[in-house]
């Protein structure tokens, strides 16, 4: 419109404008603020609550004779969702940027800079992203900018934001409180999630830097642009329990909804949000959230909220001659205050002080201009007056006052340490639980409100599932009886050996080959010995070979059944081969056979040791996880010997032993008609085979069923082994003892060759120099 006017008309128009401002401003010369107040849209939209305080401050300042006497402060504001032009044509208002859209904010700022008489300061934004965008250009208009609510850490960078001040505590100043919160509850694992904005990434980076080198571990760092669902899912995958967040509140609602959807909520989960969200942020504006209020309540319950204390904690009268409480009362009883503002009214104290600080800076500038005899007064400021803005900027930097929000000082570089308010969402409400005092002492400490925190079931959540590991050991109540029984078995074997030696000349014993019998007993002792070595609690790989039952049992089994079958083989050879009737098969030959069998087994074990040596491994018994209350689990483990190819070598051993048993069964069958009791053990062998097969079947079946049940396995295998070995030696020796003590006449026994129908008695047995070698 101005473009179409002639020069004369422009002068008239400007005169009209100036006159309008002067007339409309009660106290005379007008000083104008342009203010950004976010009211609608996303991000932080609490400026309605701010505006009440802004108006209160303007009224108080304009009525105050001690500050900006002869001047009248006015302000204008804008919001994206309303008709900007219409609003902007209303004069006598400070301009306030009202929404969190950087592009719109910059556009509107330009528009108003061009359309309106020069503003003396730009106030805001309420959101960091608008402050960042506008303050990177506002200084080019020679405007000093002062935000009441922006808390992005990057706004402290004077190189990027040369003429920017703010009253809000930057969010990274909350990180020490968050870290100490973790220490207080012994949380050592933490995950982070932030909206993909520089503001929030810097806050999280600061947190990560601070925990580096401490006992706290970052288990996951998630960043999202729009939908946080996959990132929240990822947090769950990482078993995140303590989660630090940095985001705007509409994104926090999305995160909580996603948490509900993936099940990342409940008493085990601790979300930590920032304090400048609206009071019931998880329950409001749910139109764009795919969760109900009830679901959001569930997801948010137990969350911690860390934010600065917005009110002066000290009962002192500041520059406005008001204490924080007095201001609070006046604010809540102001005619323009409505209950809807409750959601964001925490910002009121800062908004009030924002205007006071700005007024102080302008007051200082007015005085400086007078002092230096500047040709212009402050109301004559235009955007080309770099020197005047320099004075405003300098005055601003030197301003120090006590306001209703606390002590305000603009120290160069470092942001002030403020008291941090600790809140928690409990029972669907946001409750104050304590304060973190970092205002007095750099290290900070908590002042908790007694019993304010109400943990679910009194249990402090853990930072992860609390896993304790417990080694499964063979209990003494099992080991001692097994060892005693094994010892008894060995004593029995020694008793049989003694009998065997004492009665070796007795015909009943002599005919049954006492030397081989002794070897059989040696095998039994080896088998018994194997149970003394526990299969668990292995500490050293070098003793794995004796620890595994395979070594002693493998050798013992081979020796015992090798001895038994070799005797039967001799009977078989003698009584099924006529040519051999006149020949002898001596004990040493049988011993050589046993030795050969043992040799095969030994060679295989040596190969086993070379190709696939044993090592000690820790096996976690996954099926035996005991879950206790409050997220505690006990994971059981065993230390056992492990060899990579143990399956193959184990089966090779089973095949050798199986072949031995099969051959023994064949011999026993073939010699079943040899009726010389003292000579032929075929019936006893049949019984032994029966025992071994049954016990092996039982042992094998149970071992397949009892995977990871090491103790049970030890008990069952040891039991089978003791029973089998005892039966074997008893079956072989008790008939001999019976025969000796009952003086059974071996001559009464007869021989029948099943195949040829031959018969023989003891007299027809082949004669040898040593009858003990006969059979």
By beta-carbon proximity to ligand ABU, the closer residue of 347 and 720 is 347
Residues in the chain: 775
Rounded Cα distance between 307 and 190, Å, is 19
Rounded Cα distance between 474 and 700, Å, is 20
CB of 432 to ligand ABU, least distance (A): 19
CB of 125 to ligand ABU, least distance (A): 8
DSSP per residue over 58-98, as a string? HHHHHT-TTSSTTEEEEEEEE-TTS-HHHHHT--S--EEE-
DSSP reduced 3-state for 37? strand
Run of H or E residues at 565: helix 549-576
Give yes or no for a contact between 609 and 541, defined as CB atoms under 8 angstroms apart: no
Rounded Cα distance between 257 and 259, Å, is 5
CB of 35 to ligand ABU, least distance (A): 14
Residue with the CB atom nearest ligand ABU in the bound state = 149
CB of 126 to ligand ABU, least distance (A): 5
Q: Which residues bind ligand ABU (CB under 6 A)?
A: 44, 126-128, 149-152, 276
CB of 53 to ligand ABU, least distance (A): 13
SS (H, E, C) 17-29: HHHHHHHHCCCCE
By beta-carbon proximity to ligand ABU, the closer residue of 170 and 523 is 170
Rg over CA atoms, the chain:
47
By beta-carbon proximity to ligand ABU, the closer residue of 40 and 584 is 40
By beta-carbon proximity to ligand ABU, the closer residue of 141 and 276 is 276
Could you tell me which residues come within 8 angstroms of residue 373 by beta carbon, excluding any fewer than 6 positions away?
Answer: none
Any idea which residue has 């009830």 for tokens? 294
By beta-carbon proximity to ligand ABU, the closer residue of 150 and 513 is 150
By beta-carbon proximity to ligand ABU, the closer residue of 108 and 736 is 108
For 715, the token pair is 């008990």
By beta-carbon proximity to ligand ABU, the closer residue of 100 and 493 is 100
By beta-carbon proximity to ligand ABU, the closer residue of 5 and 225 is 225
Any idea which residue has 């065993």 for tokens? 638
CB of 277 to ligand ABU, least distance (A): 8
By beta-carbon proximity to ligand ABU, the closer residue of 202 and 264 is 202
Rounded Cα distance between 598 and 656, Å, is 11
CA distances from 333 to 55, 337, 338, 348 (A): 13, 7, 9, 13
Could you tell me which residues come within 8 angstroms of residue 450 by beta carbon, excluding any fewer than 6 positions away?
Answer: none
Burial class of 740 by CB neighbour count within 10 A (0 to 12, 13 to 18, 19+):
middle
Give yes or no for a contact between 146 and 165, defined as CB atoms under 8 angstroms apart: yes
């Amino acid at each position: 419109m101005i473009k179409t006017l002639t020069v004369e008309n422009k002068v008239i128009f400007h005169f009209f404008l100036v006159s309008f401002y002067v007339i409309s401003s009660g106290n005379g010369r007008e000083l104008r603020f342009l203010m950004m107040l976010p009211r609608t849209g996303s991000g932080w939209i609490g400026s309605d609550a701010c505006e009440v305080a802004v108006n209160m401050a303007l009224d108080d300042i304009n009525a105050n004779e001690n500050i900006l006497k002869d001047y009248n402060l006015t302000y204008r504001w804008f919001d994206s969702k309303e008709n900007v032009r219409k609003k902007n044509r209303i004069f006598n208002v400070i301009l306030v940027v009202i929404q969190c859209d950087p592009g719109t904010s910059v556009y509107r700022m330009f528009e108003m800079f061009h359309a309106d008489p020069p503003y003396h300061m730009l106030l805001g934004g309420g959101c960091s992203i608008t402050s960042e965008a506008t303050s990177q250009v506002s200084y080019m208009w020679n405007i000093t900018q002062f935000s009441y609510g922006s808390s992005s850490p990057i706004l402290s960078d004077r190189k990027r934001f040369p003429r920017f001040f703010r009253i809000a505590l930057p969010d990274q100043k909350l990180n020490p409180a968050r870290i100490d919160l973790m220490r207080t509850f012994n949380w050592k694992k933490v995950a982070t999630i932030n909206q993909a904005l520089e503001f929030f990434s810097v806050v999280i980076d600061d947190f990560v830097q601070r925990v580096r080198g401490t006992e706290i571990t970052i288990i996951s760092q998630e960043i999202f642009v729009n939908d946080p669902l996959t990132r929240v899912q990822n947090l769950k995958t990482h078993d995140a329990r303590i989660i630090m967040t940095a985001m705007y509140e509409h994104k926090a609602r999305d995160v909580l909804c996603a948490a509900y959807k993936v099940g990342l909520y409940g008493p085990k989960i601790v979300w930590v949000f920032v304090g400048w969200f609206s009071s019931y942020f998880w329950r409001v504006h749910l139109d764009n959230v795919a969760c109900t209020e009830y679901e959001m309540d569930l997801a948010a319950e137990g969350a911690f909220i860390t934010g600065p204390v917005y009110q002066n904690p000290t009962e002192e009268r500041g520059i406005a001659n008001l204490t924080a409480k007095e201001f609070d009362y006046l604010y809540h009883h102001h005619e323009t205050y409505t209950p809807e503002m409750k959601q964001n009214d925490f910002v009121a104290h800062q908004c009030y002080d924002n205007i006071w600080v700005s007024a102080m800076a302008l007051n200082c500038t007015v005085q400086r201009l007078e002092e230096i005899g500047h040709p212009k007064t402050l109301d004559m400021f235009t955007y080309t007056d770099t020197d005047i803005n320099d004075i405003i900027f300098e005055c601003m930097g030197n301003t120090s006052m006590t306001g209703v929000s606390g002590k305000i000082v603009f120290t160069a570089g470092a942001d002030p340490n403020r008291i941090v308010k600790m809140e928690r969402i409990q029972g669907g409400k946001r409750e104050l639980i304590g304060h973190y005092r970092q205002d007095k002492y750099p290290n900070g400490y908590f002042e908790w409100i007694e019993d304010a925190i109400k943990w679910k079931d009194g249990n402090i959540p853990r930072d992860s599932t609390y896993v304790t590991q417990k080694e499964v050991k063979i209990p003494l109540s099992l080991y001692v009886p097994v060892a005693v029984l094994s010892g008894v078995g060995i004593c029995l074997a020694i008793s049989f050996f003694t009998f065997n030696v004492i009665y070796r000349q007795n015909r009943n014993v002599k005919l049954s080959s006492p030397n081989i019998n002794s070897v059989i007993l040696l095998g039994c002792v080896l088998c018994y010995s194997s149970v003394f070595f526990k299969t668990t609690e292995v500490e050293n790989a070098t003793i794995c070979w004796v620890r595994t039952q395979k070594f002693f049992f493998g050798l013992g089994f081979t020796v015992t059944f090798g001895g038994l079958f070799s005797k039967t083989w001799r009977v078989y050879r003698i009584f099924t081969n006529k040519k051999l009737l006149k020949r002898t098969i001596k004990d040493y030959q049988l011993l050589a056979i046993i030795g050969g069998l043992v040799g095969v087994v030994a060679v295989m074990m040596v190969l086993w040791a070379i190709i696939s040596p044993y090592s000690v491994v820790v096996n976690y018994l996954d099926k035996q996880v005991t879950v206790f209350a409050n997220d505690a689990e006990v994971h059981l483990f065993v230390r056992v010997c492990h060899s990579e190819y143990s399956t193959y070598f184990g089966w090779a051993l089973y095949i050798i032993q199986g072949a031995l048993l099969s051959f023994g069964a064949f011999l026993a069958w073939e010699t079943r008609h040899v009726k010389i009791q003292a000579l032929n053990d075929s019936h006893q062998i049949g019984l032994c085979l029966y025992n071994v097969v049954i016990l092996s079947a039982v042992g094998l079946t149970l071992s397949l069923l009892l995977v990871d049940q090491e103790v049970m396995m030890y008990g069952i295998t040891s039991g089978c082994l003791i029973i089998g070995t005892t039966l074997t030696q008893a079956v072989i020796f008790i008939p001999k003892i019976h025969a000796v003590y009952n003086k059974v006449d071996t001559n009464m026994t007869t021989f029948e060759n099943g195949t040829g129908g031959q018969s023989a008695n003891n007299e027809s047995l082949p004669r040898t120099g040593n009858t003990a070698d006969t059979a």
